[in-house]
C-alpha cells in the first residue's frame, strides 16, 4: 500500500485538495492584489508598451507622412496602451502622443508651441485621444470584470461538483454497507413498495427458495407460500397495507428442494415525514425446528396418555378374558340344555324357551363387554355425550369383579337412583374410575388381614355437581407422599407408570370437576371426584 492510500495520507491529501479548491474560488482581483511584485513588473511593462506603441506610431506616421499626413496611428497606439495597461498607461500614451504630434506634426514644426490657426485641430486631437484611451481602458475593464466573474463562476461550479461527487461517493458507500448488512445477517429479508409490490429479497431468501429476484417480485412472491396458508397470508398482508400496522404471522414456505418449512414473518412500514408509508421492510424467521419440537411434545403427551391407558387396560386383560369367557360358557351350557329340552319326548318347550332366553341374555352381555373394551382402546377422543354416571360405574364393575374376587376383595356399590345425568366424554371418565378402582385394589394386594373391600359410590354433592367416591380399606396414604401422587411419573409400584392419577386429574379438570384424596376414617384411602351436572 502506498502512503497515499492510508487513511491519514488520504485525509492530508483531502485537506490540500480542499485548500486548492478554496484558492481557486478566490476572486481574480484579490489574487492579483496578493502579488505585489507581479504588479510592479506589469506596470513597467504597460508603460514600456505605451512608449513602444507611440514610438511605432511616430515612426510609421513620419515614414508615411508624404502619403498620409494625419497622425491617426497615435489613436491606435493610445487605444492599445489603454487596452493592455489600463487607464493610467492610456493617459500616459495620450500625453506622449500629444507631445509628439505637437512637436512633429503641428506648426510650428519641431516646437511645442501651437499656432493659433491649428489650436482647434490640436484640441480635437487631444480630446479624441482622451476619448479613445477612456473607451479602450473601460472596455478592457469591463472585459476583465466579465472574465473575473466567469472565472469565479467556473471555480464555484468546480467546487460544488467536487463536493457533490464526494457526498455521492459517501452515499454509495453507505448503501453498499447497508446492502452488505442485509446479506450477512442470518435472516431472510424482503422489502416492498408502499402498495405491497415486493421488489427486493436478500440473497439468503433467494437461496432458500431457489429463485432469482425476478421470480420473486410482485405477485410471484406468493407462489412460494403453501396453498393452505396463502389465504391467511394474503389477508394479513392486505390488512397491514391498508392500516399501515405491522404484519405478523407464520406460514409454510417452499424451499429450493421442494420441501416446506414454517417461517415467522414480521413486516413493518417505514414512514415518511408526513406519516405516509414509504416502504415495507420484512424478515422471515425459520421456526420449523421449534414447531417440530412443539409437535413432538404434543405427540409424546398423547402417546404417554394412551400408553398409560393401554397399560391399565393391559392389567385388566385377564379379568376381561374371564368376563368374556363366563357368558360364553353360559351360552354353550344353556344352548346344550335348550337342545336337550327340545329333543325330549314330548319336547319341553317352556324350559327350552327359558334356556334360549339365557343364551340371548349372556350373548348380549358378552357383546357389551367387547364394546366397552373397544371404546377404551379407541385412540380418538369421542364427543361428549349425555349419560348416567351410575350406568358407567356398573359397566366398569363387570371388568374388575373377576380380578377383585381373585384377590379376595369384596366389591360394593352404593349408587342411588334418580341422579341427574352428566354430559362428558364417557371413555375418559371410565378411564378415571378404572384408575381409581385399580389403585384401590393395588393398595390391598399384599394385605393379608381382613377386611379387604372397595366401595364405589355416587351422590349429588351440590346443586351443580355429582360426587363419585372410590374407597378402599388398604394402608391409606402416607402424608409425605399425599400431594406427590398427582404428579406425573410419581409411583411407589415396581411396575407403575406414575401417570394414572395425573392423567385422571387432568381429565376431571378438563370437564370442570375436581379430583382429590382424603384418608378414610375407618382406615384406608378415599379418592373422589366431582363432575358437573348437565344443565
- Interface with ligand ADP (CB under 6 A): 435, 439-440, 443, 472, 474, 477, 485, 490-493, 496-502, 525, 527
- CB 412, min distance to ligand ADP, A: 15
User: How near is the Cβ of 429 to ligand ADP at its closest, in Å?
Assistant: 16
Shortest Å distance, C-beta 315 to ligand ADP: 9
Cβ closest to ligand ADP, residue 154 vs residue 509 = 509
* Cα 178 to chain centroid, rounded: 17
Grid coordinates of 200? 427486493
**How many CB atoms within 10 Å of residue 462?**
10
Which lies closer to ligand ADP via its Cβ, residue 443 or residue 533?
Answer: 443
What is the nearest approach in angstroms of ligand ADP to the Cβ of residue 308?
7
C-beta closer to ligand ADP: residue 86 or 474: 474
Alpha carbon distance 128, 185 (integer Å): 85
How far apart are CB 512 and ligand ADP at their closest, in Å? 21
The answer to whether the CB of 454 falls within 8 A of the CB of 405 is no
> Taking a C-beta distance cutoff of 8 angstroms, is the pair 78, 36 a contact?
no
Task: Report, in Å, the least distance between residue 497 CB and ligand ADP.
Answer: 5
Please answer whether residues 403 and 318 qualify as being in contact, where contact means their C-beta atoms are separated by less than 8 angstroms: yes
CA angle 328/331/335 to nearest 5° reads: 145
Q: Give whichever of 73 and 477 is closer to ligand ADP, judged by the CB atom.
A: 477
CB of 396 to ligand ADP, least distance (A): 16
Closest approach of Cβ 439 to ligand ADP, in Å? Answer: 3
Question: CA-CA distance, 187 to 223, in Å (whole number)?
Answer: 20
State how far the Cα of 16 lies from the Cα of 57, in Å rounded to an integer. Answer: 50
Residue 107 or 475 having the CB closest to ligand ADP: 475
Q: How far apart are CA 389 and CA 371, in angstroms?
A: 17
For residues 41 and 523, which CB has a smaller minimum distance to ligand ADP in the complex?
A: 523
Name the residue nearer to ligand ADP (CB basis): 139 or 493: 493
Closest CA to 79 of 139, 125, 120, 123: 139
Which residue, 137 or 458, has its beta carbon nearer to ligand ADP?
A: 458
C-beta closer to ligand ADP: residue 90 or 525: 525
Three-state DSSP class for 282? strand
Q: What is the per-residue burial (b if ≥16 Cβ within 10 Å, else e) of 241-280?
A: beeeeebebbbbbbbeeeebbbbebebbbeeeeeeebeeb
Judged by beta carbon, residue 189 or residue 393, the one nearer ligand ADP is 393
Which CB sits closer to ligand ADP, 455 or 477? 477
* Length of the chain (residues): 535
Instruction: Record the cell numbers describing residue 520, joined without a space.
Output: 378414610
Three-state DSSP class for 298?
Answer: helix
Give the whole-angstrom CA distance, residue 32 versus residue 51: 24
Give the separation between CA 399 and CA 434, rounded to whole angstroms.
Answer: 9
The rounded distance, in Å, linking the Cα atoms of 150 and 213 is 50
CB 377 to ligand ADP: min, Å: 18
| CB 443, min distance to ligand ADP, A | 3
Backbone angles phi, psi at 494, to 5 degrees: -60, -35
Q: Is 244 left (phi over 0), alpha (psi -120 to 50) or beta?
A: left
DSSP letter at 218 equals G
Rounded to an integer, what distance in angstroms lies between the CA atom of residue 515 and that of residue 385?
Answer: 21
Residue 437 to residue 500: CA distance in whole angstroms: 11
Q: State the minimum distance, in angstroms, from the CB of residue 312 to ligand ADP.
A: 8
List the grid coordinates of 280: 415495507
442 Cβ partners below 8 Å, 6+ apart? 493
Q: Identify which of residues 359 and 443 has a Cβ nearer to ligand ADP in the complex.
A: 443
Minimum Å gap between C-beta 438 and ligand ADP is 8
Residue facing ligand ADP at closest CB distance? 496
Amino acid at each position: 500500500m502506498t502512503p497515499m492510500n492510508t487513511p491519514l495520507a488520504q485525509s492530508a491529501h483531502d485537506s490540500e485538495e480542499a485548500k486548492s479548491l478554496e484558492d481557486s474560488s478566490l476572486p481574480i482581483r484579490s489574487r492579483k492584489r496578493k502579488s505585489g511584485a507581479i504588479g510592479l513588473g506589469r506596470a513597467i511593462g504597460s508603460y514600456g508598451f505605451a512608449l513602444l506603441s507611440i514610438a511605432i506610431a511616430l515612426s510609421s506616421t513620419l515614414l508615411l507622412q508624404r502619403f498620409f499626413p494625419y497622425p491617426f496611428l497615435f489613436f491606435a497606439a493610445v487605444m492599445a496602451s489603454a487596452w493592455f495597461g489600463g487607464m493610467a498607461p492610456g493617459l500616459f500614451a495620450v500625453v506622449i502622443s500629444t507631445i509628439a504630434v505637437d512637436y512633429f506634426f503641428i506648426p510650428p514644426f519641431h516646437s511645442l508651441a501651437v499656432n493659433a490657426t491649428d489650436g482647434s485641430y490640436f484640441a480635437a486631437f487631444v480630446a479624441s485621444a482622451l476619448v479613445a484611451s477612456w473607451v479602450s481602458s473601460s472596455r478592457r475593464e469591463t472585459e476583465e470584470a466579465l472574465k473575473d466573474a466567469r472565472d469565479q463562476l467556473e471555480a464555484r461550479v468546480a467546487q460544488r461538483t467536487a463536493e457533490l461527487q464526494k457526498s455521492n461517493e459517501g452515499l454509495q458507500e453507505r448503501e453498499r454497507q447497508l446492502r452488505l448488512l442485509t446479506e450477512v445477517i442470518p435472516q431472510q429479508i424482503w422489502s416492498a413498495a408502499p402498495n405491497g409490490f415486493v421488489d427486493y429479497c436478500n440473497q439468503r431468501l433467494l437461496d432458500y427458495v431457489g429463485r432469482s429476484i425476478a421470480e420473486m417480485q410482485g405477485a410471484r412472491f406468493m407462489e412460494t407460500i403453501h396453498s393452505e396458508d396463502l389465504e391467511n397470508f394474503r389477508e394479513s398482508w392486505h390488512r397491514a397495507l391498508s392500516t399501515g400496522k405491522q404484519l405478523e404471522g407464520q406460514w409454510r414456505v417452499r424451499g429450493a428442494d421442494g420441501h416446506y418449512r414454517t417461517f415467522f414473518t414480521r413486516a413493518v412500514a417505514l414512514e415518511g415525514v408526513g406519516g405516509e408509508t414509504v416502504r415495507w421492510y420484512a424478515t422471515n424467521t425459520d421456526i420449523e425446528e421449534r414447531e417440530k419440537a412443539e409437535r413432538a411434545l404434543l405427540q409424546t403427551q398423547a402417546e404417554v396418555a394412551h400408553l398409560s391407558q393401554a397399560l391399565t387396560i393391559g392389567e385388566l386383560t385377564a379379568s376381561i378374558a374371564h368376563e368374556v369367557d363366563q357368558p360364553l360358557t353360559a351360552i354353550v351350557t344353556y344352548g346344550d340344555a335348550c337342545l336337550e329340552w327340545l329333543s325330549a319326548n314330548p319336547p319341553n318347550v317352556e324350559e327350552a324357551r327359558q334356556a334360549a332366553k339365557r343364551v340371548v341374555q349372556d350373548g348380549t352381555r358378552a357383546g357389551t363387554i367387547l364394546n366397552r373394551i373397544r371404546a377404551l382402546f379407541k385412540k380418538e377422543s369421542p364427543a361428549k355425550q349425555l349419560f348416567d354416571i351410575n350406568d358407567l360405574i356398573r359397566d366398569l364393575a363387570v371388568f374388575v369383579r373377576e380380578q377383585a374376587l381373585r384377590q379376595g376383595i369384596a366389591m360394593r356399590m352404593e349408587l342411588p337412583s334418580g341422579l341427574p345425568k352428566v354430559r362428558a366424554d364417557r371413555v375418559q371418565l371410565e378411564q378415571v374410575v378404572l384408575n381409581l378402582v385399580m389403585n384401590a385394589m393395588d393398595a390391598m394386594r399384599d394385605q393379608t388381614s381382613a377386611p379387604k373391600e372397595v366401595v364405589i359410590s355416587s351422590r349429588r354433592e351440590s346443586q351443580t355437581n355429582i360426587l363419585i367416591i372410590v374407597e378402599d380399606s388398604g394402608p391409606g396414604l402416607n402424608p409425605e407422599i399425599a400431594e406427590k401422587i398427582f404428579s406425573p411419573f410419581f409411583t411407589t409400584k415396581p411396575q407403575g407408570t406414575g401417570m394414572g392419577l395425573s392423567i385422571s386429574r387432568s381429565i376431571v379438570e378438563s370437564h370442570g370437576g375436581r379430583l382429590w384424596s382424603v384418608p378414610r376414617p375407618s382406615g384406608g384411602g378415599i379418592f373422589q371426584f366431582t363432575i358437573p351436572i348437565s344443565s
